[in-house]
Structure 1
Amino acid sequence: MSNRQTKMLKTLMIAAGLLGAGLASAQTAAVSQDVQRNVNQEQRIENGLKSGSLSTREAASLEKQTARVDHMEAHALANGSVSPREQASIQRAENNVSRDIAHDTHNGITGNPASASSQRMQADVQRNINQEQRIKKGVANGSLTNREAGSLERGQAHVDRREARAGANGHVGAGEQRGIQRVENRDSRAIYHDKHNARVRG
């Protein structure tokens, strides 16, 4: 192989490496953006509960929709990457949730933030925020792979569904909250495990 061919081969290898790094960076940015959107939506639900502009039943309905978004993210990340088509679908679902949060917080239906039921829902939604923030940090610093983030979002979807079922009748009982907390604790352990299992994003 001539010197010229060797140089061309090296140039192509460097270009391929840069392209791969660029694609990986774009994937990380997309996943991080989606998880941050989850944080934002949950925070808006929490704010609505605390201000009384969302009732427990409305928050439960919104958690049902949030579960769908989390499930879509989990499905998309099962192979470690999100396609443009999958990303577009996730963003449409997130936009729908955002519109419904805005609608429900301004529709004149109010909740009682001081009620035991609302307090339980508030605590559960705050836990959602914390878990999603931990996932986002793991994605950002490379301690979570995209596939791991997807698996953890599947766990979040399960929590959201439990919250949705518990609050569907407008009341979250103490027993229902204990059930939700058990699932939340399991997911918290999974986040910790995945962030410390020595598997890092390549």
Structure 2
Amino acid sequence: MKLAKLLPIALAAALAAPAFAQNAGDIVQRDVNQQKRIEAGLQSGALTTREVSKLEREEARIDRAEANALRDGKLNAQERSRITRMENRASRDIAAESHDNQTGNPNSASSRRMQADVARNIRQETRIENGIKDGSLTNREAGRLERGESRIDAREAVAGRDNHVGAREQRRIQRAENRESQRIRHERHDRQHRG
């Protein structure tokens, strides 16, 4: 009798875990897509370094919201809705900044530095997404890694706010990216896996 009552509950819990994984994977996939759009805007000259700085500040807030939402290992409907609204706003901002009258020089040293940093963001967010999808990252681990990505985005925002990313600023960002890359590798290869 008790087993008959517990079976539906256990089945519901087992089915809910992949739904949480899918939701977390979806929000990280959206991060990857937004970063790709930013990178494309830099490469085409549609975005200036200063515009990318503003967009990276917005991406930092989104990553922080994701980290907070995943802190308990779950992504509830309210958290997902809030993050989706933030991502939609960021998407509109990317489109608006890409289609305004300001143009950047994609071949300038500053733009190339920012392009390299954004490309690294894409790779690291993709590694986090893959870890969620293949189960090598738990939601909590993904949340901690998103907090690290938030810090990197914030550094990029500060570096580009004067429309110039210097070599020294880029080295600091790259050191932070290297530390985050090591964290991603460690978290994906530890003994914690999604059930």
What is the TM-score when the length of structure 2 is the normalising length? 0.98
- Unaligned runs of 5+ residues in structure 2 are none
**Match in the other structure for 1:80:** 73
**Match in the other structure for 2:187:** 194
The reply to whether residue 116 of structure 1 matches residue 103 of structure 2 is: no
The one-letter amino acid paired with 2:46 is: S
Select the residue among 19, 37, 43 that pairs with 2:36.
43
Select the residue among 15, 19, 30 that pairs with 1:26.
19
The reply to whether residue 150 of structure 1 matches residue 150 of structure 2 is: no
Distance in 1 of aligned mates of 2:52 and 2:14: 40
Distance in 1 of aligned mates of 2:100 and 2:178: 34
Where does 1:178-189 land on structure 2 (aligned, <5 Å)?
Answer: 178-189=171-182
**Match in the other structure for 1:127:** 120
Q: For 1:151-181, what per-residue CA distance to the aligned partner results, in whole angstroms no more than 9, with x for missing partners? A: 0000000000000000000000000000000
- Unaligned runs of 5+ residues in structure 1 are none
The reply to whether residue 160 of structure 1 matches residue 149 of structure 2 is: no
The one-letter amino acid paired with 1:14 is: L
**Match in the other structure for 1:65:** 58
Quote how far apart the aligned CAs of 1:93 are.
Answer: 0.4
Q: For 1:38-79, what per-residue CA distance to the aligned partner results, in whole angstroms no more than 9, with x for missing partners? A: 000000000000000000000111000000000000001111
Distance in 2 of aligned mates of 1:199 and 1:27: 16
Quick check: which has more Rg, 1 or 2?
1
**Match in the other structure for 1:139:** 132
The one-letter amino acid paired with 2:108 is: S
Q: Post-superposition, which runs of at least 4 consecutive aligned residues in structure 1 deviate over 3 A? A: none
Any idea what SS the aligned residue of 1:112 has? coil
The reply to whether residue 174 of structure 1 matches residue 167 of structure 2 is: yes
Tell me how many residue pairs correspond in the alignment: 195
Quote how far apart the aligned CAs of 1:25 are.
Answer: 1.2
Q: For 1:6-30, what per-residue CA distance to the aligned partner results, in whole angstroms no more than 9, with x for missing partners? A: xxx3333332221001211111111
Identity value in percent: 52
The one-letter amino acid paired with 1:135 is: I
The one-letter amino acid paired with 2:7 is: I
Any idea what SS the aligned residue of 2:113 has? helix
Distance in 1 of aligned mates of 2:105 and 2:41: 11
What is the TM-score when the length of structure 1 is the normalising length? 0.95
